Amino acid sequence: MAVIAPIDGRQNGKFLATGQTLTASDSLTVNPDRKQLLVLTNGTASTITATLLGSTATAADLPGYGGSVSLSAGYPIAVAANTAQAVELADIALFLQGNVTITGGTGLNAKLFEL
């Protein structure tokens, strides 16, 4: 299990932004003091779906849903062949409570920018 290292995106000018190739199970650390953008790039010939899930994310009470909504399946991100998907981690914070694991992303390249 590899830890996705954050890239400081607050640098001036151009900077090296090397990603990490995901395996069957990887992790990342959410930094609530920074805006974090996760970019997943798929250079393969088929769609790969990575799922992000925090170890303590179980359920949430959301207005308008009439009760508790399960978070236990995680937040899936499908990345089509030869494309990239990005997500701001604050937007999916309910899924990222506790230690965050990324599963199913074998072959994707991940970059975690801190802005």
Provide the whole-model pTM: 0.94
Domain locations along the chain: 6-10+20-59+67-114
Name the token pair of 44: 């393969």
Q: Give 3-state DSSP helix, strand, coil % of the chain, rounded to 5.
A: 5, 45, 50
Percent of the chain with pLDDT over 70: 100
Provide the CATH number for the domain formed by 6-10+20-59+67-114 in this structure: 2.60.290
Q: Cβ distance 57 to 92 under 8 Å? A: no
Torsion-angle region of 98 (φ positive above 0: left; ψ -120 to 50: alpha; else: beta): left
pLDDT in tens, 58-104: 999 888 878 888 999 999 999 999 999 999 999 999 999 999 999 99
Pairing of strands 6-8, 109-114: parallel
